[in-house]
Every structure is written in C-alpha cells, then in structure tokens.
Structure 1
Amino acid sequence: MGAAGKPVLVKAPGKLNVFMRVGQLQEDGYHDVATAYQAVSLCEEVKASPASDFSVSFEGPIDVNGLELDGSNIAIKAARLLARTVDYRGGVRLEITKRVPIAGGMGGGSADAAATLVACDALWGLGLSREDLHAIAARLGADVPFALMGGTAVGTGRGDELSPALAKGSFHWVLVLADYGLSTPRVYRELDQHRERNAADLSPAVVAPQVDADVLQALRAGDPHMLAESLHNDLQAASLHLAPALAGVLELGERNGALAGIVSGSGPTIAFLAADLDSAISLQIALSAARLNVTRVTGPVQGARVLHD
C-alpha cells in the first residue's frame, strides 16, 4: 500500500430514476425496488488531499449550509469505511463542490460517497478493483454502487443489485430543482399510507417488483418518445402529496413541449424528457421564464472517475 500522494480530483454523476417500482413493506421496515437508473451530466466533484484525520467541506452553486460536516456525513463515512476495510492508518481532507440538489431524489450524497471511494483509493495508492469498491459502496447506501458505475442500469433488491442496461445515444432532460428537499424515509412512509388509504382501488404491491420490458427496450433503442411512454415512479404520488406544488410544475412542463415529466426518485426534483436538444433548450427557456430553477442535462454519462490535469 503506497503512502498518500498529491491531491486527487474525482467527478461522480447524479442520477435519474426513469422507472421505479416499489415492492410491499417488509417486516424489517424496508421495501425491495425495481428501478432503471440513468447517470446524468449534473455532477459532484470531490478533491481528496492527504491529512492525518478525516474532514469534509462544501462549496458550490447550491446552498450547502445545512450539510453535516461530522462523521454523520456520507462522504466521511465512505472514507472511514474504506480506511477500516484496508487497515489504512491516515486520514483525508475532502473538499466537495456540490451541484446535485440536496435531498432532491438525484443521489447527490451517494455521488459524494462514490467519488470519495475512488479518490481515496487513488490518493492512498490502494489499487482496489471495481468489484472491491462496489462491495464497499453497497454498505453505504442503495444508490452508491450506481454512482460508482454510471451509465444506465437496472437496480433490484434495495436498488444496489445492479446489472448494466444497454442504452443507445443520448437523452435530453430538463430538470426543475426545488429550493427544499424531501426526506426519502418520509416519502416511503407516505407511499405505505397512500397504499393503505386506497387499498380498495390499487392492485396490491408485489414483494419482488421488476422493471417493465418496454423501458429497457426504449433505452436500448435510444428512443425518447418510447421512453416517455414508459416513465414511471411509484413514489411520485407520495411526493406530490407531501409537496402539492409539484403537480403544477409537471403540468407546466408538459404544456411547454416536454414529452413527459417524472418526479426523480423520492423527489422533489422533476425531470422532463425532451425529444432533442432544440426542444430541451426551448423548454428550459419557458420554465426559466416561469421563475423556476432549471438546468439542462444529458444522460447517460460515466460513473465516478478521476479527473486528470
């Protein structure tokens, strides 16, 4: 194992769930899910520098004031878990540039954790395989392995059992970012309550959900019109119940030329799928004119990787 070298800069992508089905509540309080992830071009950057202890600081275009800077932060957890796993005795100073919304359903914290694993592996000269890093990532949270892998993938189990999915070309998305977050556990609780309240009208949730074949076919064909028809998120009803204003945003996007809109993950970020670059730009302009915080991204993109000077 090498001594810590010069600082390492790593980029890791945020994600959209283009399909999300949530299984029934299990006795341990968790749900199995079936999701199709797409890594998009809104990325976190983590700079790792040699240090004797573990610390993290944040900057970036989004408000980072509410973020924990102690051992409860997922990036510090990732660094410490890696150090424990390989018996590394030093520490690391992490400087994170945040661009992915906090508690926005886009896996920003998971991207930070994945980038930290890759950065510390390089900084500490560990030379771990992707499989080793993936196993450590899975212990940190369901979305962390995907931020490591990137591209397009199907996630089952808790979302961390990944298999790559073929995707052709590039998809154009316009994201509406909220100035507030939604807690993932709270959204899941709301989903369970929604299912209880509407048990008479809803078909019962299955234990082990699966991703619909037409989603995978649309991704494989690189066809945004086909993908728009098959976008689905079981958590969307719960997110809309907790943040009713999102319904108006969805309608506005679809009125202004989006092929379809979807709440990403547990929300509140809304992702609109556009037919092509021109449509994405005109949708971005229309939503910005409505004073919404909008950004345009493409997917799929690579997972966590070292940026070389």
Structure 2
Amino acid sequence: MTARTVRAPAKINLHLGVGAPREDGYHPLLTVYQAVGLYDDLTVRPADDWSVDLEVPDWMAGVVLPALDDNIVTRAARLLAAHHGIEPRGAVHVAKCIPVAGGMAGGSADAAAALVALDRLWGTGTSDEDLLRIAGVLGSDVPFALVGGSAVGTGRGELVEPVADVGTWWWVAVPSDRGLSTPAVYRHFDELVPDAPADPPPADRLVAALAAGDPHALAAALHNDLQEPAIDLRPELGDLLARGEAEGALRGIVSGSGPTCVFLCESSDAARAVAGAMTDDAHPAVLVTHGAVAGAHLVTYG
C-alpha cells in the first residue's frame, strides 16, 4: 500500500432556506451548494495504528485539531472501517486552506477526503451509494463534499441532487479570526423567526441563474436565512458585506452560518480588485476563488 492524497473543496451556500425545527431537533433545509476552489489536502499512509496531524498556513496560526477521538477524520475512518469489518489504521496528514469554523464546510471536506483516501488505501472498494450514506451520518455537508459541482441539498442538506451550471463564478472569501457557533446561529434563527415554515420554499430563481450562467441574475438570487441571525450576533458582518459591495462586488452574503463572508464578482479581475481593496490589518487573508469545482478527488503527482 502506498500513500494516497485526496483534495476536497470548500462550499458556499448560494441559497440556504431553513424550516422550523423538526421533532428530532434538526431544521429541514433547502440549500443550493457550490463547491469552490479552496481546498484541504488529506494524505494517508500505511501505519500499524491510527494518527492524525495538521498543517495550516500562516494566516490560520493557532488553529488546532480537536482531540483524536473527537476529530471528524477519525469518525470517518471508524465508520468506514466498521462498514467493512476491519480496524482503522493509517497515518493521516491534513493540509488546510479552507477557513476553520467559517461556514465553508472545511471539516466536512476533510471527512469526505478521508472516506475517499482510506477507501483507496485499504482497498475496500466501497460503492458510491455506501460512501454517500456514511457521509450523511458524519454531517449534513459531507455528501456534497463528495459530489462537488453545484447541487440542491434537502433534508438536513445531506440529500444531494446536482443541478445544471454553465457559469464560471468568481468569489472573494473574507474569513474571520473568530468563529461563530452554528448551534447558536440556529437558536437565534428560531428566536427571530418563530413562525418559520415546516418546509422551506424551493430555490427556482437561483437554479435558473446557474443554468443561464448570468452573474447578475445569480447575485440577485443569492439568499441565506441564517444571515440575519448571524449579523444580529456579530453586527460587524453586516458592515463587512456593505463594504464589499461598495468596493465593487455584485453581492455579498454570509457563508452558511458564518462568520466567513463571500462576495460574488463579475470576473476574475473584478474579484482580485475587490480582494485587494478589502485586505487590511483586520482581514489579512482575503481569498479569491472560483466555482464550480469537482468534489473530493484523488491527487496524483508527476
């Protein structure tokens, strides 16, 4: 067995509709995902035991992995190993670029990458159907990290159906150096929207904009039900969105439950100009990226 490296993308919720909490406590979602070209790379090598270590860029200094038993990569390994009746073994190295706790599903990307990499390393030949099922157990965004592209997610977001997307979309992502608790944002949504519908409405206008490849139509259709509660908890996010649009972005939106804000731009040049204007002492790491890109995939070198 040789080392395997799998690259998995960040996601943006172009549309995030949230329904009233179900009896099990989960909120039904209607979301449109897009995978964008910010990646975590996960490399796994043969080993007699199990370990996970982390590499981060300078702008993520201070980020640490959760304890080994609590890490989503470990959970992915255990579920995949249990599915095949084997012991999870391997030495995993995670090289991060996706903002941590930023609403761009970096942890979900790592879980998806682990499933693909370990399946190759162990030679278990897991079917796509079973990988998606295991991914759904790990978290709402993990199945999409496997699929990539642009897709509609329903249920808790784990039921993924690809949609037509003919555009190349340019984004500026502005991470925050402070995380924002996803459960806290959902709780605040429940406080602000006590009469939320049982099922969120469809995102037909946004799906049509993707199919047309029109950035202005897409900008007009971007929607996030968690944006208001996120901004209410962190008012500076609203100021950041206004600033990005004033600098030339077509539209700014909170990514998922935040706190990363993303800005749709008309072109790559426009995205670089917006990123340059927004880079300052408070936001030293402003990222330019594009979508849609592939889901978790094996990387080969040479």
Alignment match, 1:173: 171
Q: Deviations over 1:202-228 (max 9, x none)?
A: xx3211213321100001111110000
* Structure-1-length-normalised TM-score: 0.94
- Which residue is equivalent to 1:63? 61
Instruction: Tell me how far apart the structure 2 counterparts of residues 126 and 173 of structure 1 sit (CA, whole Å).
Output: 37
Please give the secondary structure, in 2, of the residue aligned with 1:71: helix
Distance in 1 separating the partners of 2:155 and 2:73: 23
Q: Which amino acid aligns with 1:306?
A: L
**TM-score w.r.t. structure 2 length?**
0.96
Q: Does 1:18 align with 2:14?
A: yes
Partner of 2:237: 246
Does residue 29 (structure 1) correspond to residue 25 (structure 2)? The answer is yes
Match of 1:304 in 2: 296
Length, aligned pairs only: 298
Q: What is aligned with 1:199? A: none
Residue 139 of structure 1 is matched in structure 2 by: 137
Please tell me whether residue 42 in structure 1 is matched to residue 34 in structure 2. no
Partner of 2:200: 209
Alignment correspondent of 1:201: none
- SS of structure 2 residue aligned to 1:265: coil
In structure 2, list runs of 5 or more residues that go unmatched.
Answer: none
Identity %: 47
Distance (Å, rounded) in 2 between the aligned partners of 1:211 and 1:64: 40
TM-superposed CA distance for 1:184, in Å, is 0.9
Q: CA deviation at 1:126?
A: 1.3
Gaps of 5+ in 1: 197-203
Q: CA deviation at 1:27?
A: 2.1
| Distance of 1:145 and 1:29 partners within structure 2 | 20
Deviation, 1:156, is: 0.5
Output aligned runs, 1:222-241, within 5 Å: 222-241=213-232
**How far 1:284 sits from its partner (Å)?**
0.8
Checking the alignment, whether the CA contact within 8 Å between 1:19 and 1:211 is kept in structure 2 is: no
Counterpart of 2:105 in structure 1 is 107
Q: Is the 8 A contact 1:57 1:69 kept in 2?
A: no
Q: Aligned-pair RMSD on alpha carbons?
A: 1.2
1:265 to 256, 261, 272: 256
Offset of residue 63 of structure 1: 3.1
